Amino acid sequence: MELVLLSAAFLAGFVSLKCHLPPLVGFLLAGFALHGFGFESNETIVTLADLGVTILLFSIGLKLDIKTLLSKEIWAGATLHNLFSTALFCAALFGLKFLGISSLAIMSPEQLLLLSFALSFSSTVFAVKTLQEKGEMNATYGTIAIGILVMQDIFAVIFLTASTGKIPHWYAIILFALPLLRPLFYKILDWVGHGEMLVLFGIFFALVVGAGLFKFVGMKPDLGALILGMLLAGHSKASELSKALFNLKELLLVCFFLNIGLSVQPTMTGLALALLFLLLLPIKGVLYFAVLNAFKFRVRTSLLASLSLFNFSEFGLIVGGLAFKLGWLSSDLLVALALAVSISFIIASPLNRKGHELYRRSGHWLKEHAAESLNNRDKLINPGNAQVLILGMGRIGTGAYDEIVSRYGKVSLGIEVREDTAEEHQQEGRNVIAGDATDPDFWERILDTANVKLVLLAMPHHQGNQIALEQLKQRGFSGQTAAIAAYSDQIESLLEEGVDAAFNVYREAGTGFARDVCDQLNPQLTPK
Q: Where are the domains of the chain?
A: 1-363, 388-521
Name which residue leads in pLDDT, 291 or 514: 291
Beta strands 501-504; 412-416: pairing state: unpaired
Residue 325: its pLDDT value, please? 66
CA-CA distance, 343 to 350, in Å (whole number)? 12
CA-CA distance, 308 to 125, in Å (whole number)? 11
Evaluate if residue 264 carries a pLDDT over 70: no
Evaluate if residue 141 carries a pLDDT over 70: yes
Q: Residue 528 — pLDDT band, cuts 50, 70, 90?
A: low
Query: What backbone phi and psi angles, to 5 degrees, belong to 374?
Result: -65, 150
Residue 523: its pLDDT value, please? 73
SS3 234: coil
Q: Rounded mean pLDDT of 430-450?
A: 78
Count CB atoms within 10 A of the CB of residue 112.
19
| Torsion sign (Cα): 195, 127, 294, 435 | positive
Judged by phi (left if over 0) then psi (alpha if -120 to 50, else beta), residue 364 lies in: alpha
Tens digit of each residue's pLDDT (9 = 90 or more) over 73-102: 899 999 999 999 999 999 998 888 888 777
Strands (DSSP E) contained in 417-515 are 432-434, 454-457, 480-485, 501-504
Residue 187: its pLDDT value, please? 92
Name which residue leads in pLDDT, 370 or 212: 212
The CATH number of 1-363, from 1.10.630.10, 3.90.550.10, 1.20.1530.20, 3.30.565.10, is 1.20.1530.20
Q: What is the pTM of this model?
A: 0.72
The CATH number of 388-521, from 3.40.50.720, 3.40.1710.10, 3.40.50.970, 3.30.428.10, is 3.40.50.720
Evaluate if residue 322 carries a pLDDT over 70: no
| Nearby residues of 471 by Cβ (< 8 Å), 6 or more positions away | 437, 438, 440, 442, 443
Q: Which region among 243-257, 305-319, 372-386, 513-527 has the lowest average model confidence (pLDDT)? A: 513-527
Strands (DSSP E) contained in 265-314 are none
**Average pLDDT value for the chain:** 83
Tens digit of each residue's pLDDT (9 = 90 or more) over 38-71: 888 788 888 888 888 888 888 878 877 777 778 8
* β partners of residue 501: 482
Q: Which region among 28-32, 193-197, 381-385, 517-521 has the lowest average model confidence (pLDDT)? A: 517-521
The pLDDT > 70 percentage for the chain reads 94
CA-CA distance, 47 to 58, in Å (whole number)? 17
Tens digit of each residue's pLDDT (9 = 90 or more) over 407-429: 899 899 999 877 778 888 999 99
Evaluate if residue 179 carries a pLDDT over 70: yes
Residue 287: its pLDDT value, please? 95
Helix (H) or strand (E) run with residue 478 in it: none
Residue 90: its pLDDT value, please? 92
Tens digit of each residue's pLDDT (9 = 90 or more) over 156-177: 767 766 665 567 788 888 888 8
CA-CA distance, 438 to 459, in Å (whole number)? 10
